[in-house]
Amino acid sequence: MKFNKELENIKSYEAGKPIELVVREYGIEPQNIIKLASNENPNGCSQKVQDGVAKIVSNMSLYPDDSMLKLKNALSKQYNIDESELIIGAGSDQIIEFIVHATCSAESKILMNSITFAMYQIYADHVGASTIRTTSVNHDLEQFYNLYAEHKPSIIFICTPNNPTGDAIKKDELYRFLKRVDSETLVVVDGAYMEYAIGKDSKYEVAPSQLIKEFENVIYLGTFSKAYGLGGMRIGYGISNAKIIKELYKIRPPFNITTLSLEAAALALEDIEFVEMSIKDCFKEMIRYEEFAKEMNLEFIESYTNFITLLLNSHNSSKIAQTLLSMGIIIRDLSSYNLNAIRITIGKSEQNSRLFNALRGILSK
């Protein structure tokens, strides 16, 4: 039996360690473990969403409404777009998968930032496409343009705010760049953390409706995993012109969103207060992280997200992550991104305090 040669080069995604794993590996009680590794919402998810989902658990036996009427309707209102401009995926990950599989092959090139969301590379590897990367840590759109002009890639991934670094691109700057890219290249604007960027500074807001009106070769990605607190339910979406959406739909597997996830996402859009509260809490705690970094003489990347990336010049990120793990604190080591840095999800106030104390102890040794 032969497997396709593309499989040889696929590396698996390195997920944030789940709490269960730390329980098993270190014998720490679950209630004593804090996970600040996967940028989950520390406020959990909206109580209204929880109540609504609990109410329909008897529907688990019914296949999902594959037209996704209720959720599509809610999302199209939220973003002032037509339903034909919308595709819903099992996380925005799945939209990335659709995009790469629909437009790329082993002959294709894909352009992305030096350090960015790992799934872009993984899906490129699925089809054997080559990837081109900038060299700067933050998105440098001049570098992007030069590489674009040189390689004419099939896809450009722009992640704003960027994961795992936290920096973002001003809308005006992004638009100037997009105007220089011709329509043969599909530009993916991944706004998984956009709600946080908007909460911090409206100059960073990229509104999908305007974006797709101005650029026919752009697709915007959003997710319910972050500000909406539904990371466990796997719901993301792509917004683009109807022609592109129609093509992506061709490779969407039927029933790609569970019955309970469809309900959860639709209800989540109704609870604006929960999202606003989550963003407000996040940036309130973010100040403490910035102050902590200054106190410890650590560089950090200014963050437009619900996490912060601390650069560790004289310390080793893997060692620090490992020591924290043994203390029951899960954060993300960025050494696999070739960055001697750690990414920490902004947690609840008491979780952050515990992290500060632990890190203070480790760094002063």
What is the footprint of a second copy within residues 282-321 (CB under 8 A)?
none
Using the rule CB under 8 A, give the single segment among 9-17, 74-82, 136-144, 161-169 that binds a second copy: 9-17
Angle at 77 between CA 68 and CA 260, to 5 degrees: 35
φ and ψ at residue 101, rounded to 5 degrees: -65, -30
Q: Which of residues 168-227 bind a second copy (CB under 8 A)?
A: 183-186, 217, 225
Q: Which of 255, 273, 280, 295 binds a second copy (CB under 8 A)?
A: 255
Least distance CB 333 / a second copy (angstroms): 17
3-state secondary structure of 154: coil
Q: Where are the alpha helices (DSSP H) in the chain?
A: 19-26, 47-55, 69-79, 92-103, 118-127, 141-151, 171-179, 194-200, 208-214, 242-249, 259-270, 272-295, 317-326, 349-363
Angle at 208 between CA 304 and CA 238, to 5 degrees: 95
Q: What is the DSSP annotation of 3-43?
A: --GGGGGPPPP-PPPPHHHHHHHH---GGG-EE-SS---TT
Residues 206 and 133: their CA atoms lie apart, in Å, by: 23
| CA 68 centroid distance within chain | 22
Give the residue, chosen from 223, 261, 303, 345, that forms a contact with a second copy under the rule CB under 8 A: 261
Query: Does 101 contact a second copy by CB under 8 A?
Result: yes
Beta bridge mates, 345: 307
Binding region for a second copy (CB under 8 A) out of 103-111, 130-138, 298-306, 325-333: 103-111
Residues in contact with a second copy, counted by CB under 8 A, come to a total of 78
Task: Choose which of 25, 26, 30, 66 interacts with a second copy (CB under 8 A).
Answer: 66
Q: How far is the CB of 184 from a second copy (least distance, A)?
A: 6
Residue 253 touching a second copy (CB under 8 A): yes
The distance of closest approach from Cβ of residue 127 to a second copy in the complex, given in angstroms and rounded to an integer, is 9
Q: Closer CB to a second copy, residue 70 or residue 170?
A: 70
Nearest approach, Cβ of 293 to a second copy (angstroms)? 26
Binding piece for a second copy, criterion CB under 8 A, among 87-95, 203-211, 297-305, 347-355: 87-95
Report, in Å, the least distance between residue 147 CB and a second copy: 18
Does 31 contact a second copy by CB under 8 A?
A: no
* Residue 43 to residue 230: CA distance in whole angstroms: 11
Partners of 187 in the β-ladder: 156, 218
Q: Please state the closest distance from residue 311 (CB atom) to a second copy, in A.
A: 25
Residue with tokens 């220089």: 180
CB of 63 to a second copy, least distance (A): 5
Handedness of CA 50, 52, 58, 60 (dihedral sign): negative
Q: Looking at beta carbons only, is 264 or 344 nearer to a second copy?
A: 264
The span from the CA of 364 to the CA of 296, in Å, is 9
Kindly identify the residues of this chain, within the stretch 140-169, that bind a second copy according to CB under 8 A: 154
27 touches a second copy by CB under 8 A: no
